[in-house]
Amino acid sequence: MATLFERAAVVGVGLIGGSLALAARQAGLFGRVTGVGRGAANLATALARGIVDRTTHRLEDIGAVDLVVLAAPVRTIPALAAQLAPHLRAGTVVTDVGSVKGSIVGELEKILPASCPFVGAHPIAGSERSGAEVADADLFRGAPCVLTPTDHTDASALQRIEALWQGVGARVMRMSPAEHDRALAWTSHLVHAIAYSLTHAIDATDPAAFACAGPSLRESTRVAASDPILWRDIFLANAPAVLEVMETFTTDLDGLKQAISSGDADEITRRLEAARRARERLDAQR
C-alpha cells in the first residue's frame, strides 16, 4: 500500500497506539514514527520492538509530522491536545482512539487549530493488558473501528483516516459521536461495569465461591482485570449513556428475576429464547 502518512507521531505507545503503529508500518501506511510518552521503560520497549523509530517525553519535540494519533487515556486527551496545539504545523491531521467520543470530539474541534483537521476514531479491540510490550500488529484485524465525523470534519482527512484503519484490517463504520457513545455504553462500558460489579459482589459476599469458577465466570469477568483508573474515567466521561443503559439492563434483569420468583416458566423461556436468537445473530455478523 502507498504510504498514507510519511511522518507520524503516536502519543501513548500502549496496546492500542503501539499496535496501530506496528500494523501501519508493516502495511507500509506509516513512514517514520515518533513515539511520545511519559514512561521511559515503555518507550524503550517500543523502540526495541521496532514500533517506533524515535521517542520523546515532550509533546513540544514532536517535530513536523503529517499525523498525530492521540492514543492516551480518555481523560487526558483534551489536555494533551491543548498542549500540542501550538506546536502543530498547518495540515497535520490529528486523530484519537478514545473509547468515548461525544466530549472528546467537541472539545478537540475547539482546541485544535482550524488548519489541523481532526477525525475522531475508536478501534474496538484491546484486552485487559496494556503497554508496548503487548502491542500486536494483528490486533485490529476484523475488529470494528468507528469514525465519528461531524459537520466540521475535513472530508479528505476523514478519507485518509478511514484508509488507515482499513489498511490495518479493521471493519470501519461511521457514526455520530452521540450514536457511538450510546452503542459503546451497551457493548463495552456496561459490560465492564457488570464484570467489575459481579467480581466485587462475589468477593464481598461469598469469596469461597470463586473455587467453583468455570469458564463462564472466568470469561465474563476477564475485563475486571482492566486498569481501574482508565475505566473510572470512561464511566465518568460517558456517564449519561452509561447510567441509562445500566438502568435499562437492571430493569431487564429484574424482569427475569420476577419471572423466576413467580415460577413463570413460559416468561423465562420467552426471554431466554429471544436472547439466544439475538446472540446467534451477533455470531453470524462476525
Identify the residue among 127, 129, 141, 174 touching a second copy (CB under 8 A).
127
* 47 or 143: CB nearest a second copy: 143
According to DSSP, the β-strands at 67-70 and 93-96 are parallel
**Quick check: 89 and 62 in contact, CB under 8 A?**
no
Q: How far is the CB of 133 from a second copy (least distance, A)?
A: 18
Q: Mark the segment that binds a second copy (CB under 8 A) among 36-44, 56-64, 109-117, 259-267.
A: 259-267
Report the C-alpha gap between 156 and 117 in whole angstroms: 9
Is residue 126 within the footprint of a second copy (CB under 8 A)? yes
Is residue 125 within the footprint of a second copy (CB under 8 A)? yes
* 90 or 251: CB nearest a second copy: 251
Is residue 213 within the footprint of a second copy (CB under 8 A)? yes
Report the C-alpha gap between 170 and 138 in whole angstroms: 10
Is residue 273 within the footprint of a second copy (CB under 8 A)? yes
Integer angstrom CA distances of residue 25 from 43, 151, 259: 17, 31, 54
Identify the residue among 86, 151, 155, 216 touching a second copy (CB under 8 A).
216
Burial 90-120 (b: 16+ CB within 10 A, else e): eebbbbbbbbbbbbbbeebbebbeeebbbbb
* 86 or 216: CB nearest a second copy: 216
Is residue 146 within the footprint of a second copy (CB under 8 A)? yes
* 56 or 199: CB nearest a second copy: 199
Is residue 172 within the footprint of a second copy (CB under 8 A)? no
Cell of 217: 465466570
**Quick check: 19 and 165 in contact, CB under 8 A?**
no
Is residue 115 within the footprint of a second copy (CB under 8 A)? no
**Please, where are the H alpha helices in 87-176?**
102-111, 155-167
> Nearest-CA neighbor of 13 among 49, 53, 42?
42
Q: How far is the CB of 96 from a second copy (least distance, A)?
A: 17
Integer angstrom CA distances of residue 123 from 15, 16, 67, 206, 234: 12, 8, 17, 37, 15
Helix or strand holding residue 205 (H, E):
helix 190-205
Which residues from 21-80 bind a second copy, rule CB under 8 A?
Answer: none
Is residue 280 within the footprint of a second copy (CB under 8 A)? yes
* 10 or 145: CB nearest a second copy: 145
Is residue 129 within the footprint of a second copy (CB under 8 A)? no
Report the C-alpha gap between 33 and 25 in whole angstroms: 8
Identify the residue among 4, 105, 124, 135 touching a second copy (CB under 8 A).
124
Q: Mark the segment that binds a second copy (CB under 8 A) among 9-17, 64-72, 155-163, 189-197.
A: 189-197
Is residue 182 within the footprint of a second copy (CB under 8 A)? yes
CA triplet 209, 214, 217: central angle to 5 degrees?
75
Q: Mark the segment that binds a second copy (CB under 8 A) among 4-12, 27-35, 105-113, 176-184.
A: 176-184
Residue 123 β-bridge partners: 145
